[in-house]
Structure 1
Amino acid sequence: MSDRISLPDWLTDVLSAYGQVLSELFWFFVGLTSVYLLGRIVLVPLVARFVRARNRNNPTIESAAQTYLRVVLIGFATLTGIIAAGYGNVLSESAVIIAALTFALGIAGQQVFGSLISGMFLVADPDFNVGDWISWPGGEGTIESVDFRVTRVRTPNHETIAVPNTELTDNALTRPYGRDRYRITEQVYVAYYEDTEHALLELQQIATNQEFVLDDPAPNARIVELGENAITLQTEFWIADPMNQDILTARSDFRRTVKRRFDEEEITLAPPSAQLLSGEVTVTGERTDPSGNGS
C-alpha cells in the first residue's frame, strides 16, 4: 500500500498554474535585471566617456545622452524580460495587443512624451547649455541639467527647481549674460531738488569700488525716467560667473553702500511722500469757560 497522498485535480491545476506564473516572473526579472545592470555598469559610462570626449565644451550633450540612454536601456531591459519569460511570440504575433498598448501609451504618456520631445529640442539648441544663466516668465537661474521630463535650474537663492521642459520651450527664454558673467541692474529714486549729476557720479563710483564688480565691462549710470514725484536713476554692473557668486548678497552690499554714501553726501534718495508740505500753522483765540466768560 502506498502512503502518498493524492491531491485533487483542481488543486494540482492551481499549484501548476502558480508554479508557471512564478517561473515566468522569475525569468522576467532575471532578464530585465541582467540587461539593465549590464547597461548601467558598462554601456552608460562608456557612452558618457565617448560623448564627453567629443563635446568637451558642451556638458548639456553629455547630461542628455546619459538621460535618454537610460530611458532606452529600461525599455530594452523590459523587452528582454518579456522574451525571457516566454512571451516573445505574443508581442510578435498579436497585433491587437500591440495596438492596445500603443493607444494606452499615447493617452497616458502624452505629457511625458511632450516633455521628452521638448527636452530634445532644448538639448539641440546651441544657446541652451548647462552652466548658462537663463530667465523665463516663471523665474531665472543657472541650468544644472536637462533630464527626461524636467530641466533643473539653480535660482539666486541657491534653490534647485525642476522646471518642466514644455514650460521652457513654450515660453520666451532670455540668456543675456552668458556663462562667465552676470549683469546686475539697480534703480534708485532721487528728489527733483537734488543734484542729479552728483548722484549719477556717486552711483557709478560705488559700483566701481565694489570688490565683486568686474572692470570690463565698466559700470555705468544713467537717468531712465523723470517720474511724477522722483527722478529714476539706473546703474548696471557685471559680476563673475553666477554659479560661483551670491547674487542676493551682491545686491544687498551695493544697496547698503548706496544708502550710506548718499546719507554722507546729503542726497535724498526719494521724497518721503508724494506731497511735501512746508510752512507753519498758528492757532489764536480765546478759551471760553462754562460760565460764558472768556479768558
Structure 2
Amino acid sequence: MIDGDVLLDRLRALGRTVVLALPNVAVALALLLLFWLLARLLARLVRSVVTRAGQPKGVQIVLGRLTTWGTVGLGVLVGLVIVFPGVTPASVFGALGIGSVAIGFAFKDVLQNLLSGMLILLTRPFRIGDQIVTGSHEGTVEDIAVRATTLRTYDNRRVVIPNSELYTNRVTVNTAYPRRRLSVVVGIGYGDDIDVAKRVVLSTVATLPGVADDPAPTVLVTALSDFTVDLEVRFWISPPARREAVEVQDQVLSALKPALVGAGVDLPLPTQQVLLHDQTEDGDGDRARQREGWPPAPARTPTSDHAPDRKAPTP
C-alpha cells in the first residue's frame, strides 16, 4: 500500500515539473503558431509559382497542401524538442525508422492513393471540370485531392473515388476534346427507298442548331433487321458535355420522325408471323400430313354467285 506522504511528495514534484515546463510549452506553442503562419505563406508562394508555370488547378492545390503539412510537421517536431529536452530529432527519426515497417503496413492504402494522386496530377489524364466515366460512375470532376477524387454525378450526388482506383482502372473522359460524335439509329421499311430516306435525314439534321457543321452529319446502313433497315445517323456536337449530348439527341429524334413520315418513309413496328402445325394424334409422325402454316381449305362445290346451292325439291 502506498504511503500518503510519499504520494503527496510525488504530486508536488510533478507539479513543480509542470510549472517549470510551462515556459517551454508557451515557447513551443508560439513556435507552432509561427510555423503555421509560415506554412500558409509558403503554400501561397508555391501555388503562385505553379500557376506561373502553367500547371492546372489540381496541381496547385495538392502541392500547396503538401507544403502546409510538411511545414506544420516540422514545427511539431521542434515543439517536442523544446517541451521535452531529452527528445532530439535523431531519436525521433530513429523511432520512426524502427516503426517504418508497421507504419508502412498500416498506411499502405493511404500511401498508394497519395502516389496515385500525384501521378494523376502530373500526367493529367483528366482535370477538374472534366466529365468522366469510371466503372459504374459518371459525372463531373470537382476536386482531385491527395487521397481521393471527388465526382459529382448528373443527378447531383457526390462520389469519392480513391486515386489508386482511377490510376489503375479504365477511365473515359467525355470532355477531353472540343467535339464529340453522337449517333442514333432509325429503322425504315424494306419497301422504302434508302437513298430518299438518307436525303431526308441529312437535310433534317443539318438544320438543327445543336449539330456541328464540320464534320458534317453522315448516314450509314448498319443492319438488315427482322422488320427494318437500320440507318445509323452520325453527327457531332460542340461542346461535348453531357447536357448538350442529351439535348441534341432529343432534337435529332424529335425532328426525324415527322420528316420521314412526311416524306412517305415507313417507320414499321415489330411484326411476327405465327405458323401452326396441322398435327393430330392420328397423323403424328406423318410428315406429309404435318404441314407448316395454315392447312389448305377443303374443296368446295361450285355454286351460283347469287344464291346458295340448294337441293331440288322431291316431286
TM-score greater than 0.5 by the shorter chain: yes
Deviation at 1:205, TM superposition (A): 2.9
For the Cα contact (< 8 Å) 1:115–1:148, is it kept in 2?
Answer: yes
Classify 1:51/1:137 alpha carbon distance in 2 versus 1 (closer, same or farther; 3 Å).
same
Structure 2 residue 70 is the aligned partner of structure 1 residue 75 = yes
Partner of 1:9 in structure 2? 9
Partner of 1:204 in structure 2? 202
Spell out the pairing of 1:27-176 with structure 2 (5 A cutoff).
30-40=30-40, 42-55=41-54, 58-59=55-56, 62-86=57-81, 89-93=87-91, 97-125=95-123, 127-153=125-151, 155=153, 161-175=159-173
Partner of 1:287 in structure 2? none
Partner of 1:290 in structure 2? none
Q: 1:270 and 1:22 mapped to 2: Cα distance?
A: 89
Deviation at 1:267, TM superposition (A): 3.8
Partner of 1:186 in structure 2? 184
Classify 1:165/1:263 alpha carbon distance in 2 versus 1 (closer, same or farther; 3 Å).
farther
Q: 1:272 and 1:124 mapped to 2: Cα distance?
A: 53
Partner of 1:289 in structure 2? none
| CA deviation vs aligned residue, 1:196-240 (integer Å, no higher than 9, x gap) | 333333333333222122211112221222334433322222222
For the Cα contact (< 8 Å) 1:217–1:238, is it kept in 2?
Answer: yes
Q: 2:62 and 2:22 mapped to 1: Cα distance?
A: 32
5+ residue gaps in structure 2?
1-6, 275-315
**How many residues are aligned here?**
265
| CA deviation vs aligned residue, 1:257-276 (integer Å, no higher than 9, x gap) | 23343443454445234x15
Deviation at 1:36, TM superposition (A): 3.0
- Secondary structure at 2:206 match in 1: helix
Who wins on radius of gyration, i.e. which is larger?
Answer: 2
Deviation at 1:19, TM superposition (A): 5.9
Spell out the pairing of 1:214-293 with structure 2 (5 A cutoff).
214-242=212-240, 246-273=244-271, 275=272
| CA deviation vs aligned residue, 1:51-73 (integer Å, no higher than 9, x gap) | 22221xx52xx422321331342
For the Cα contact (< 8 Å) 2:130–2:174, is it kept in 1?
Answer: no
Deviation at 1:148, TM superposition (A): 1.1
Q: 1:81 and 1:179 mapped to 2: Cα distance?
A: 46
Question: Which structure has more RCO (C-alpha within 8 Å, separation ≥ 6)?
Answer: 1
Of 192-201 and 231-240, deviating more is 192-201
* AA aligned opposite 2:215: P
Deviation at 1:159, TM superposition (A): 5.6
Deviation at 1:122, TM superposition (A): 2.0
For the Cα contact (< 8 Å) 2:47–2:63, is it kept in 1?
Answer: no
**What's the Cα RMSD here?**
3.6
Q: 2:261 and 2:26 mapped to 1: Cα distance?
A: 78
- Secondary structure at 1:213 match in 2: coil
For the Cα contact (< 8 Å) 2:186–2:232, is it kept in 1?
Answer: yes
5+ residue gaps in structure 1?
1-6, 278-295
* AA aligned opposite 1:197: D
